Amino acid sequence: MSKRIGHFRNAIGVAAHEVAQNDCSLSNVPFNATMRMFSYNILDGGEGRADPLAEVIQAQRADIVCIVEADKIEVIERIAHRLKMDCIHAPGRKSAAALLSRWAISKSINHALLRSDGPEKSFLEAEVIEPGGRIWTIGVVHLHAHARERDERKREQELTGVLDVFARHRSANRPHVLAGDFNANSPDQEIDPAKVYPTTRDEWHANGGQIPRRVVQRILDAAYVDTFAAFDPGAAKTTGTFTTQFPGQRVDYAFAFGFDKASIKDGWIEQDRLAKYASDHFPIGVEIV
């Protein structure tokens, strides 16, 4: 049920796999005391932008990379090859997700094709094993877009499926991270409609001068931590990820469950010049002990 091309796998449904001991790109990988994770919406599959996207990702020194709008499999394969990372690709009903890792990806489930109540775009679950044996459980999520009330209701429906999938991890108090483009706004974020994408501005006015914020609040109520807000609350209120030309909203997140806030050692939004032109989203990062 999975297609492997070198270290590259295409997850059609449920895929569990192991990396051979003699895989040169993954052998002798040094152990880290921390895990650096990066989440990136690469815009329409990243076609024609594989190299600048890879350069943005490489500069973050990430151990694990979550990608949404990973619609062009050849782009993801090129990025993974350049970064010498293991990779899983998971096509959804309307888009695709991918997870890249410099450590071995031991298990993956493409929930987008298995569940009708989850995200229409993409929804991937994966386990990554450090050389020392520590397991990182990651969900790569891409929820419905737009800022109207009916769009928030659609995201709430999709989120129900996401939270249901990860309920077994929460019940076991198993630490994990949900990362990706949630197309949702934090209740603490300060949004200036003059600074957002024009379509979002129109939707703001259509909503009576507001943007719905229930989805992120529901995630927080489920005991997840907004890692960027935990590390830098002030910046989280005012720094946007979408769009790179009108960065008035923070819609990309890494939500952590089962980690003490003190274990979040860094959180950032990459807004350098290359990131501004490589995609329409600024990517986000987190470092966890």
Query: Which CATH number characterizes residue 49's domain?
Result: 3.60.10.10
pLDDT tens, 59-102? Answer: 999 999 999 999 999 999 999 999 999 999 999 999 999 999 99
Higher-pLDDT residue of 26, 151: 151
On the question of pLDDT at 15 being above 90, the answer is no
* 215 has pLDDT over 70: yes
Q: Provide CB contacts within 8 A for 204, sequence distance 6+.
A: 147, 191, 193, 196, 210, 211
Q: How far apart are CA 35 and CA 265, in angstroms?
A: 10
Alpha carbon distance 41, 97 (integer Å): 9
> Terminus-to-terminus CA distance in the chain, angstroms?
34
Q: Please tell me the total count of domains within the chain.
A: 1
Q: The tokens 């569990």 sit on which residue?
A: 16
For residue 18, pLDDT beyond 50 = no
pLDDT at 33: 79
Domain residues for the domain of 112 are: 2-288
Return the pLDDT at 32: 64
Nearest-CA neighbor of 280 among 46, 23, 77, 6? Answer: 46
**For the segment 194-211, what is each residue's pLDDT rounded down to a tens digit?**
999 999 999 999 999 999
